[in-house]
Structure 1
């Protein structure tokens, strides 16, 4: 066996500590041969022998890579390898050990990341615990290397994926918590000194990095985790607990630094502090993790104002997990605010201006249906939290800038709801009565492109506008307010232009519908040739060229358009009747 090969030189080694390069090479070759041949028990005996301790102390660290690889093989009992590893990390030079172990972490097989770092973490921890002044820098390097590898692991989303943990992210998160605990306790228990301060900085950087990766990608559900604690939920809980233990003030981290536009020095190196703080806000206010240690002295409007920066960041990304967290954080922040209390001045602040725009983008462009539906609910909740002046200004601004009929129809519907609220309750709001209402209607009840407006594309806005006019004319006629004349002028101007558009659109769509019906009578070959030449080429319906649709779909669209125009015309007739009846 390989150990026997050393017998001739062991006696010389036992009487000297001046080992030459050839001695190192001989020792490592013999040790690696023992490992490869399975003679690990005898190698362990050699390592443990008291007379050999100075030999192992000087040359043993070089065996670490081969021993770690043997443990990872799993086809032979790793007990002896693990025992040798434990012995080496307790007696060899700590700097050499840490360098070799971190090199192992950084060069981990991409297909065995979780298994490798789970084996390496206890070894690195043992080495770090032996350090004194260099402990904090060593911890910072170790955590950076470990998190770099952990961040490569796919995040499990479904409950089944989390249970199976195929790629090992859940196991790694649990293991890294065990890894940092001794250092958390040391940083917490020691008085403020240079080592303690540096430990806190290293742990703080670790926590902030963990918040951005993987916790921003993890889907968390408080109710589900109350019955079955998942590793990732536990990881989020422990990260927030560590932050609360090593930081003097969570509110300072979360609120005051962003308001001053500053970043913490400990976030150097691309740890994305705003992303981390956004996740912290989500864990606090949505999942209520660590909320029991968060002071309850901040006003709901202040909390909302601070969180808007994070909400804006989350909603500006295209990742589903980010958007969901942004929407949930927005809802929880808004729900804390009393109805009708957000003033118009807040709308001028950048996040309050940008967040609704991001919501609108999600409502319009997001390919995921449940996110579109969720964003619409949140958008409506935001509107309901504005006071009268803020609503009035927000509606006016959006009608000028949204350029989307669906969004504009939502605003017009909210105008009606606001007017109706004033009519049916003791709540009065001058911003939706009298001259302020008329002023808003002049900007709202319009056809943006005049007589060239595509009524089918703008159907939602037109129908809501007509319904609002009919409602207002009936209510104003019944209560005989001073705004009646102005309202009639707006209605007459709008319906007059709308009739022109309706006449042109019905004529054009009617001809196309008739032509499609006639084309059905033509033989298949003639129909194929004619369709390429005479199909509708320029007409756009809901951002899709009609001519690119199958002929059956074109026929349905045209038929739907004609029915829609009949509905619009019936509302126009009713509005004209109300005005005429009032003038008799």
Structure 2
């Protein structure tokens, strides 16, 4: 009687020693057939484990032998058992060669399970998307045309390569579904998988058509969109989940996984269908960066619904710091604002997403490390605000002033307010939101020194300069007192200008003293250590010349503000004189 042979060890040794033909002949040998069939589970992990990323190049015969052995296992094994082991191998795959070689036998087994495929298909797709999500994303801090270099990055190329493996795997199942319209669950399973692919890592990659029109990543994304549209004729059925996810996040709802996976609908798996993956879908559909069939985006939905839903995705994308996500948020925002009608009613602002958009655009404009995105964010703030009627604009401008905590941004908000008043003054009748209590309230906000005369003038310089220019403009432009600016003069002079003059005198004296100390310290040698506080920042261990330059810049700002204060006072007096003249007449 022949001793029993460990088929797993036998095939493993034959593959290791390069005896590929012998390894392939084992399953067909009568003495090994039963053992081969009984050990398919263990053989799968051994065979897959032989592959490295470069195996197909340095040992193409080994790669081919592994593919053929897996095909033989599919024929010999019990489909359910082999499928579970292949799914596990996807989850533990150590490289893309192992991941790729598993897809073909996985597809073949799923085809065998045509009747019981539902849950098995979902498990397979979930394991695939989990593998893809774990691919690391590089962040090189490149801007503009430099982003073209991203396609040379190892991980970017890896992502494109892995994504290119997917359509040959799932498209046969889509073709089956096109012929049979009854299996709605299977359609949703595949579509939910495709939507999840638009999240991490693809959402982190630059897909801008101007810079990367022919990139592999864009081509992969285009294929995914086509397949989503093939499965779902009305794409708003998926877009609606943006609202659902947003509401869940607001209420901090965490959907618990049911003990029976059948109880959870494909679009309810939040680890796959969440705000990030849905934001990726919204970007591909509405940014204009990809071709989308018109039939898949029905026009029966109101512009308000479309704007508010997609805007939630914009807000989510703008909450990140990575270039790829921010750039997509900016592009999507630009596109969706075109759907918002001009002179939109302020009632739309009952939806808080508009204020959230302002907040996130403001954060990008102030804090993003990418200058082009900062500039675009500033433009979009103005574009968004100016889409509304005057009363709506004032609500958003007021929100900016109250929440910005940044002198330059507050100054920009004041400029937007000034431009709106200027437009309204050209109309036959001044809009009532620029008069009375609303106007007085805005003037108080614009003339705000948070700490009175002790406020940091340097830190507030942009805001102060813009405020003074605005008040001077209004004193000259509104000679007929349509806004009621004359009723504000006393408050402006006593609560703002007087404190500002005091603050300027204190600040000038402080900085001039610091300059004197530096100049005197310079003559005493290099050991003199003088720290200077500018705009709340201590300038220590900085070369003397740089300190002098910074202090001179501050002193110049003080002189500019002094000149504007004097000019504003003069304009206020002129306006008062005009009022007296009109009274005499």
1:375-414 alignment to 2 at 5 Å? Answer: 375-414=377-416
2:529 maps to 1:531: yes
Which string of whole-angstrom CA distances, capped at 9 and with x for unpartnered residues, describes residues 243-301 of structure 1? 22333531122137616946883232622422221111111111244252211333333
Per the alignment, residue 437 of structure 1 pairs with 439
Partner of 1:202: 189
Distance 2:524 2:127 in 1: 72
**Counterpart selection for 1:96 from 59, 81, 88:** 81
Look up the match of 1:270.
271
Bigger shift: residues 444-453 or 418-427: 418-427
Asked if residue 177 in structure 1 is aligned to residue 167 in structure 2, the reply is yes
Q: State the match for 2:564 in structure 1.
A: 571
The alignment's C-alpha RMSD in Å is 3.0
1:307-334: CA deviation from partner (whole Å, max 9, x where unpaired): 2222222222223222222222111111
Corresponding residue for 1:558?
A: 551
1:247 aligns with 2:232: yes
TM-score by length of 2: 0.84
Quote the Cα distance in structure 1 between the aligned partners of 2:520 and 2:51: 79
| Aligned position for 1:64 | 44
Tell which structure's C-alpha radius of gyration is larger: 1
Determine the C-alpha separation between the residues in 1 that align with 2:19 and 2:523.
90
Partner of 2:322 in structure 1?
Answer: 319
Q: 1:91 to 1:68 in 2, by over 3 A?
A: same
Q: Deviations over 1:479-515 (max 9, x none)?
A: 4647353243344333222222222222222222223
Q: Is residue 2:202 matched to residue 1:215?
A: yes
**Is the aligned partner of 1:39 residue 2:19?**
yes
- Indicate the residue corresponding to 1:545 in structure 2: 538
Change (3 A) 1:168 1:485: closer
Q: Is this contact kept in 1: 2:83–2:109, CA < 8 A?
A: yes
> Is 1:453–1:501's contact at 8 Å kept on the other side of the alignment?
yes
CA deviation profile, 1:422-461 (whole Å, cap 9, x unmatched): 2346795332356643442233223222111211111011
Matched, 1:283 2:284: yes
Where structure 1 has 5 or more consecutive residues not aligned to the other structure, the ranges are 1-7, 10-21
1:543-584 Cα shifts (integer Å, max 9, x gaps): 411456443222222212222111111122222223334555
Moved more, 559-568 or 481-490: 481-490
CA contact (8 A) 2:486 2:576 kept: no
Q: Please list, as runs of the form range in 1=range in 2, the aligned pairs for 1:230-241 lying within 5 A after superposition.
A: 230-241=215-226
Contact 1:402 1:408 in 2 (8 A): yes
Relative to 1, partners in 2 of residues 1:188 and 1:543: Cα closer, same or farther, differing over 3 Å? farther
Q: Distance in 2 between matches of 1:187 and 1:96?
A: 25
2:59 counterpart residue number: 75
Structure 2 distance, partners of 1:354, 1:552, is 43
Is the Cα–Cα contact under 8 Å of residues 301 and 337 in structure 1 kept in the other structure? Answer: yes
1:153 corresponding residue in structure 2: 135
Distance change >3 Å, CA 108–CA 214, structure 1 → 2: same
Aligned mate of 2:110, from 128, 140, 145: 128
Cα displacement (A) at 1:468: 0.9
Unaligned runs of 5+ in 2: 140-146, 249-254, 256-263, 578-585
CA distance in structure 2 between the aligned counterparts of 1:499 and 1:302, rounded to whole angstroms: 50
Confirm or deny: 8 A CA contact 2:86 2:102 kept in the other structure: yes
**Deviation of residue 80 (structure 1)?**
4.2
Alpha carbons of structure 1 residues 415 and 123: separation in structure 2 relative to 1, 3 Å:
same
Q: Any idea what the Cα deviations from partners look like across 1:131-168, whole Å, max 9, x if unmatched?
A: 23332222222222222222222347844443675662
Residues 478-517 of structure 1 mapped to structure 2, 5 A cutoff: 479=480, 481=482, 483=484, 485-493=486-494, 494-517=496-519
Single out whichever of 571-580 and 119-128 deviates more from structure 2: 571-580
Deviations 1:88-113 (A, max 9, x none): 3223221232233233333322xxx1
Question: Aligned equivalents of 1:57 and 1:484: distance in 2?
Answer: 91
Q: How many residues align?
A: 545
Pick which of 41-50 and 436-445 moved more: 41-50
Q: Which residue of the partner structure matches residue 13 of structure 1?
A: none
Q: Report the 3-state secondary structure (helix = DSSP H, G, I; strand = E; otherwise coil) of the residue aligned with 1:385.
A: coil
Does the aligned pair in 1 maintain the 2:174–2:231 contact within 8 Å? Answer: yes
Q: Is the 8 A contact 1:315 1:322 kept in 2?
A: yes
Equivalent position to 1:303, from 298, 302, 306: 306
Matches of 2:400 and 2:69, distance apart in 1 = 70
* Counterpart secondary structure, 2:478: helix
Q: Is the 8 A contact 1:156 1:165 kept in 2?
A: no
- Say whether the 8 Å CA contact 1:28–1:62 is kept in structure 2: yes
